[in-house]
């Protein structure tokens, strides 16, 4: 196998849950191969460096093997190696997020009782 499409490889390496999400990330400019933006049809080779953002994390991977088939996580981990700088940066970002404390989260949709209280509060101020 001389090369594999980047979207297939990212899916097979379990970087993204579906090929469609991998393609969407590539089209959105969140994936770079050897420092340059890429297209989903770009063929990667062993030794290429892939940098991608998913959620809060940005990872830099070096391709060790090629695969078009999605297998279990232990086999997928053999397809790439994350660089030391990437690991260090992700750990630092994780610690920073933990130090900032929990983000603002809502309790979900208001209940019927909550809506009544909101209505009373807003109509009382008019």
What pLDDT does residue 55 have? 86
What pLDDT does residue 126 have? 60
**Which two tokens mark 64?**
């060790």
Q: Which residues pair with 80 in a beta bridge?
A: 63
What pLDDT does residue 73 have? 95
pTM over 0.75? The answer is yes
Question: Domains in the chain, start-ordered, CATH in brackets?
Answer: 4-91 (3.10.290.10)
Average of per-residue pLDDT values in the chain: 92
What pLDDT does residue 46 have? 95
Tell me 82's DSSP state: E
What pLDDT does residue 19 have? 95
**Which two tokens mark 1?**
């196998």
What pLDDT does residue 108 have? 85
DSSP strands (E only) in 6-125: 31-33, 36-37, 43-44, 49-54, 57-63, 80-82
Tell me 104's DSSP state: P
- Given a cut of 70, the residues of the chain with pLDDT beneath it are 1, 104-105, 126
């Amino acid at each position: 196998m001389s090369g594999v499409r980047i979207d297939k490889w990212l899916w097979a390496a379990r970087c993204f849950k579906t090929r469609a999400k991998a393609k969407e990330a590539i089209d959105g400019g969140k994936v770079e191969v050897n420092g340059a933006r890429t297209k989903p049809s770009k063929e990667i080779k062993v030794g290429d460096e892939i940098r991608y953002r998913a959620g809060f994390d940005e990872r830099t991977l070096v391709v060790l093997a090629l695969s078009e088939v999605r297998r279990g996580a232990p086999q997928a981990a053999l397809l790439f190696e994350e660089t030391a700088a990437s690991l260090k940066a992700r750990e630092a970002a994780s610690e920073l997020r933990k130090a900032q404390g929990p983000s603002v989260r809502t309790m979900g949709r208001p209940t019927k009782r909550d809506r009544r209280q909101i209505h009373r509060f807003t109509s009382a101020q008019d």
